[in-house]
Amino acid sequence: MRRTTCVIIGGGPAGMVLGLLLARRGIRVTVLEKHRDFLRDFRGDTVHPSTLRLLDDLGLFERFDALPQSRVTQFRLPTADGRDVVLADLSRLRTPHPYIAMVPQWDLLDLLAEAAMAEPTFTLRREHEVTGVLRGGGRVRGVTFRAPEGDGEIEADLTVACDGRWSTVRRALDLPSRAYPVPFDVWWFRITTDQHLAEALLPRVRRGRIGIAIPRRGYVQVAWIGRKGTDAAVRADGIDAFRAEVAELLPDLARDAASVASMDDVKHLDVRLDRLRRWHAHGVVCIGDAAHAMSPAGGVGINLAIQDAVATARLLAEPLRAGTLAGPRSGRILARIQRRRTFPTVVIQMLQRAVHARVIAPVLAGRTTAVLPRGADIVLRILPVLTVIPAFVIGIGPRAERAPRWARGSPGPPTDRSRRTAPMSEDVG
């Protein structure tokens, strides 16, 4: 048995941001990450203007800005006449960094982990897969885990689930949720190319299929949108048929489509959209996708999860320091997080459901090849200032969160990563 003040499940963006913030308040915090490292092919590599501002607040932006990256300043949509129009222009935002940075997520996570491990109260345990929750005294008092050294337990005043839509903690608690139907799935893959693409996202459409090419350094990350439940059929057609579809939909990348070597390089995402009715129980709270699985529409899921983490740190830092989350009032204190973050979650999910019904579903059903409704393109061309509204929703989001004052400032010098990654024989924190 080991003990800490706060145990965080999942070393993704929300978990690492929350761990860093709490550690900067002097709280003993342990992050459990089931993988050996962050070197995995993530589907979402977007860092939004609100997160860039957070990195500024934390004194980490210069180190982030030095990472290899590309930048997206516009979202464009095709119209009925075959042209395209700017839907969202992030350069119009009044924010220090009015763009979306496309950075491999493992680079961002390494940066956050390095900054957190400079704090003496922070511990990161890799290859620790959470298998369940510890219960006692009418509350959750920690988690059980599986690690290379064997099974174990960690006891904590607070457990925070940041382990995504398939959250182990969420399933163990059987918290009530509401799910919404989604008519599509997404297939992700890379196309290696030396072509320079514009700093804009422009969906390509033909009846029954949507493709979005995201510019990166040395390759393009493609989101391939099709009808839900068709993954088996897509794979049965084989790689040659798939490459032919890619070349037809993305003609600029046709000569590079062969870089998709096999269907093993095409990753299927079963898109879900849901929201817990209650995000917490005594001693435990879910945030990010563990509390509300988001659609990839708009690419705002990471942004929303990080803002959940910032709000959680601000609301819970003092109760954790005072030890009140170990007592009978923990439920009321944890409910503040859901009250604070429900509004932006509901707004974004409502907008995503509208996009599903009015934009994506008609294209996949073969009823149209125009993503933007008739008339909207004329309005946006006449009044381009309106492009700041969707830019704000995508880049900043409703009810944006700022880092607490006690977490701001320049971090100390980078530390030896191995020194702050605790082996099983050490006490947590």
Report which listed range, 97-106, 214-223, 305-314, 322-331, is most confident: 305-314
Give pLDDT, residue 205.
83
Cα separation, 242 vs 248, in Å, equals 10
Residue type, 43: R
Residue 315 has pLDDT above 80, yes or no: yes
In this predicted structure, the answer to whether residue 56 has a pLDDT above a threshold of 90 is: yes
Instruction: Indicate whether 327 pLDDT > 80.
Output: no
pLDDT of residue 206: 78
**Confidence band for 86, pLDDT divided at 50, 70 and 90:** confident
Q: What percent of the chain has pLDDT over 90?
A: 64
> Over 80: is that where the pLDDT of 116 sits?
yes
What pLDDT, on the 0 to 100 scale, is given for residue 98? 97
Nearest CA to 111 among 179, 175, 47? 47
Highest mean pLDDT of the ranges 153-157, 174-178, 375-379, 424-428: 153-157
pLDDT in tens, 121-166: 999 999 999 999 999 988 999 999 999 999 999 999 999 999 998 8
Q: What does each C-alpha distance from 157 to 283, 307, 312 come to in angstroms?
A: 6, 22, 15
The 10s digit of each residue's pLDDT in 330-348 is 889 999 999 999 999 999 9
pLDDT for res 63: 96
Distance CA 295, CA 228 (A): 13
The chain-wide mean pLDDT, for the chain, equals: 88
The average pLDDT across 55-76 equals 93
Tens digits of residue pLDDT in 403-418: 999 998 755 444 333 3
Q: List pLDDT tens digits, range 197-231.
A: 666 677 888 768 888 888 777 888 899 999 999 99
**Nearest-angstrom CA–CA distance, 52 and 1:** 38
**Dist CA 158 CA 323 (whole Å):** 10
Residue 98 CA to residue 348 CA, distance in Å, equals 20
Give percent of the chain with pLDDT exceeding 70: 88
- On the question of pLDDT at 8 being above 50, the answer is yes
DSSP 3-state assignment of 50? helix
| In contact, 193 and 68? CB cutoff 8 Å | no
